Amino acid sequence: MAKKAKKQTTEDMLEELREFDTPSITNVVATYPTSPLCLGLYNPWTENWYTDQTIRCMYPGLGPLVGYAVTCVYG
């Protein structure tokens, strides 16, 4: 009998995300090819990465931070 997967809380998911740097998360969100949630900004296999080494932490002393971001287009 297969084990039932434990439902993960939002807090658990955010805590797991703290293990990854922002450029890595952004590259996945921007390009994951088979996900309908993917932004589809570019193809990582044929183009340059969406983020690179120029993206860096301005305040490393704060440690990793995770949360919610909302963007919109106005006008």
Query: In the numeric block, which tokens belong to residue 17?
Result: 């995300």
Residue 39 lies in a domain: yes
As a whole number of angstroms, the distance between CA 1 and CA 58 comes to 49
Residue range 6-55, pLDDT digits in tens: 777 888 888 888 888 777 777 777 776 666 666 666 666 676 666 667 77
pTM, two decimals, is 0.44
Residue 60 domain flag: no
- Is 1's pLDDT higher than 60? no
Cα separation, 61 vs 16, whole angstroms? 20
The span from the CA of 35 to the CA of 31, in Å, is 9
Mean pLDDT value across residues 61-66: 80
58 domain-assigned: no
Residue 5, token pair as written in the block: 């997967």
Assess if residue 4 is contained within a domain.
no
Identify which of 35, 25, 31, 37 has the alpha carbon closest to the alpha carbon of residue 66: 25
Name the residue range of residue 28's domain.
Answer: 9-52+65-75
